[in-house]
Amino acid sequence: MNFKVLTVLSGCFLIFVLAECQKEKPTKITEKRVMKEPKASEPKFSTMAGKKVKQGATKLPKKGRVKPSVVPRQGQQPISILTRAVAKGQFQKVPNTLVLTAGETLDLRCKGKAIKWRYPPYLEDDDVERRLRIKHFERHSQLIVLNSAAADTGQYSCWSFHCQDSECRDGEDKLSETFIFFTDPQELFVPTEDYYEVIQLRTNHPTLLPCQVTNPLAKVTLHREFPPEKVIVDGIDISYDVKRGFMIHRPRPSHAGSLFCMASVDGVRQISTKYMLIYVNYPSSVPKPVIRASVATLQAGDNFNVTCTVFGEPEIAVDFSWEYLGQQIGRPPYVRERTDLVRHGGQVQQESESILYIDEARAVDDGLYSCIAENLQGSTTVSTRVHVFSGTLAPKKAKAR
Ligand X SMILES: *[C@@H]1O[C@H](CO)[C@@H](O)[C@H](O)[C@H]1NC(C)=O
- Residue 379 in contact with residue 373, Cβ under 8 Å? yes
Q: Is 6 in the site for ligand X (CB under 6 A)?
A: no
What are the strands, taking DSSP E only, across 37-153?
82-87, 90-93, 97-101, 106-111, 115-118, 132-136, 140-145
Q: Which run of H or E residues covers position 375?
A: strand 367-375
CB closer to ligand X out of 262 and 386: 386
First CA to last CA distance, the chain: 84
Show contacts of 229-235: CB within 8 Å, 24+ apart.
230/24, 231/259, 232/31, 233/31, 233/32, 233/33, 234/31, 235/31, 235/33, 235/35
Residue 42, CA distances (Å) to 72, 219, 221, 256 in order: 11, 25, 24, 25
> Hey, which residues does 224 pair with through a beta bridge?
229, 259
Q: Min. distance of Cβ 307 from ligand X in angstroms?
A: 6
CB closer to ligand X out of 239 and 354: 354
- Residue 372 in contact with residue 322, Cβ under 8 Å? yes
CB closer to ligand X out of 238 and 293: 293
Q: Min. distance of Cβ 379 from ligand X in angstroms?
A: 23
Sign of the dihedral defined by the CA atoms of residues 334, 335, 338, 342, in that order: positive
Within 292-331, the residues that bind ligand X by CB under 6 A are 294, 303-305
Q: Min. distance of Cβ 350 from ligand X in angstroms?
A: 18
Q: Min. distance of Cβ 320 from ligand X in angstroms?
A: 14
Residues 254-293, mask of contacts with ligand X (x by CB under 6 A): ----------------------------------------
Q: Min. distance of Cβ 1 from ligand X in angstroms?
A: 59
Q: Min. distance of Cβ 386 from ligand X in angstroms?
A: 12
- Residue 230 in contact with residue 219, Cβ under 8 Å? no
DSSP one-letter string for 182-239: EE-TT-SB---S-SEEEEEEETTS-EEE---BS-TT-EEEEEETTTTEEEP--SSSEE
* Distance in angstroms (rounded) separating the CA atoms of residues 81 and 177: 9
CB closer to ligand X out of 53 and 335: 335
CB closer to ligand X out of 281 and 305: 305
CB closer to ligand X out of 147 and 303: 303
* Distance in angstroms (rounded) separating the CA atoms of residues 183 and 206: 28
Sign of the dihedral defined by the CA atoms of residues 35, 36, 37, 43, in that order: positive
Q: Min. distance of Cβ 302 from ligand X in angstroms?
A: 8
CB closer to ligand X out of 303 and 327: 303
Burial (0-12, 13-18, 19+ Cβ within 10 Å), 338: exposed
Q: Min. distance of Cβ 369 from ligand X in angstroms?
A: 13
CB closer to ligand X out of 256 and 295: 295
Q: Min. distance of Cβ 294 from ligand X in angstroms?
A: 3
Q: Is the peptide bond before 314 cis (omega within 30 degrees of 0)?
A: no
CB closer to ligand X out of 294 and 321: 294
Within 333-362, the residues that bind ligand X by CB under 6 A are 355
DSSP state letter for 42: S
Q: Min. distance of Cβ 355 from ligand X in angstroms?
A: 5
CB closer to ligand X out of 315 and 337: 337
Interface contacts to ligand X, rule CB under 6 A: 294, 303-305, 355
